[in-house]
Amino acid sequence: MALYTHHLPSWKKDEVAEIKKNQKQFTLIGLVDMYGIPAQQVQQIRRNLRGKAVIKVTRNTLIKHAFEDIGGDVKTLSKYISGHSAIIFTNDNPFKLFKQLEKTKTRMSAKAGDKAPEDIVIEKGPTSFKPGPIVGELQQAGIPAAIEGGKVKIRETKTVVKKGAVISAKLAAVLVKLDIKPMDVGLALQVAYHEGGIFEPSVLAVDQTVILGQIQLAGMQAFNLSVNAAIPTKDTMDAILTKAVRDARGLAVEAAIYEKDVVDAIIGKAYRESQAIKGLVK
C-alpha cells in the first residue's frame, strides 16, 4: 500500500484502491460538482451515462489520498476538490464529456441562499394572479406590480438579481409562484485530466459549430493564399496550374500574342471591339 494510505482503515483503503483501479482503466479522470442535485436526479444521470462514464462518490479526503497515491499530474487535481466533489472516469475526450454533462442539467426553482447563475429578469405584462397578497409579495421582492383589469400586472421589466448575487427567501418564493426556474441543476465538470493535459471548464465550454466554422474559414483562406501566391502544395497544385493557364491565356489575348490556342479568342476580341467602334460611329 502506498505511503499516503497505509494508515487508513480497510474500508477506506478499498475506496482508494477502487479509484486507482478505475484510473488505470480509463483515459480520462475528472472531478464533478454534485451540489444541490436531488438523489432521484443523480440516479437518472447515472443511467444516462451508463456505458459512457463511471461516477465515484466518496469522501473528499479519500479522493485526495487516491490522487496522492497516483501521483504525477493527477496529484494536482486535488486543488479543484470542493464541498461536493465526485470523481468521473471515461474514455471520451474532455470536450465530449463536458457536452454530455451539460445535457444532464435541468432547470429547477431557486432556493433561498442560492447564487443566481445569470441575471434574473422579470418581464413586464399581465399575470394570472387575482388581486390579493401577491401584489405585496411581488413588491417586497423588488418587482413593481399593480392591479389592472382585475388582474395583477407587472408594470415594467426588472432585473431582480444580478449574476452571482444571492437569491433572497422572498424572491425565491415569488419566483416559484411565477414559475421561473433559474437554476441549472446537474453534474458540473470542475476539471478533467486527459492524455497529460489538465482541462478546466472555461476551456471546454466552446460552441463546436462556431469552432468548426472558424476551421473551415481558415482552411479556405489558406487554400486561397496558396493559390494566389503560387505556393505549391498537394492540395492546391491543380488549382495553381489552372489559374496559371487561365492567366497566361488572358495575357495572350490582351497582348495579341498569336498562339494557336488563343488565335480564335484574339479574333473574337477584335471583332467585338470593331463592332463597338462601329456602333459609336453610327
Nine cell digits for residue 55: 461516477
CATH topology of domain 120-183: Molybdopterin biosynthesis moea protein, domain 2 (3.90.105)
Pure H helices in the chain:
10-25, 39-48, 60-70, 94-103, 134-140, 169-177, 201-204, 208-228, 237-254, 263-281
CA pair distance 159, 120, nearest whole angstrom: 6
Contact status, residue 85 vs residue 56, Cβ threshold 8 Å: no
Give the C-alpha separation, 101 to 124, whole Å.
Answer: 34
Res 37: pLDDT: 82
H or E element: which one contains 271?
helix 263-281
- C-beta neighbour count of 135 within 10 angstroms: 16
pLDDT for 1 equals: 44
Contact partners, residue 25, CB within 8 Å, separation at least 6? 89
Cβ–Cβ < 8 Å for 52, 193: no
pLDDT at residue number 86: 92
Give the long-range contacts of residues 44-47, CB within 8 A, separation 24 or more: 45/104, 45/186, 45/187
What is the rounded CA–CA span in Å between residue 169 and residue 155? 22
Instruction: Annotate 162-172 with b (16+ C-beta within 10 A) or e (fewer).
Output: eeeeebbeebb
DSSP state of 166: B
Closest C-alpha among 116, 170, 179, 117 to residue 143: 170
pLDDT at 32: 93
Q: Cell numbers at residue 186, please? A: 446537474
Mean pLDDT by 10 residues, the chain (282 residues): 64 90 94 84 85 90 91 92 90 91 84 88 89 88 87 89 91 90 86 93 81 89 91 91 86 79 80 80 70
- Residue 257, CA atoms < 13 Å, CB-side half-sphere: 8
Tell me 60's DSSP state.
H
Domain boundaries, the chain: 10-105+186-206, 120-183, 211-281
Q: How far apart are CA 111 and CA 171, in angstroms?
A: 9
User: In DSSP terms, which residues pair with 28 in a beta bridge?
Assistant: 90, 194
Q: What is the CATH number of domain 10-105+186-206?
A: 3.30.70.1730
pLDDT tens for 30-67 read 999 887 787 888 888 888 888 889 999 999 999 999 99
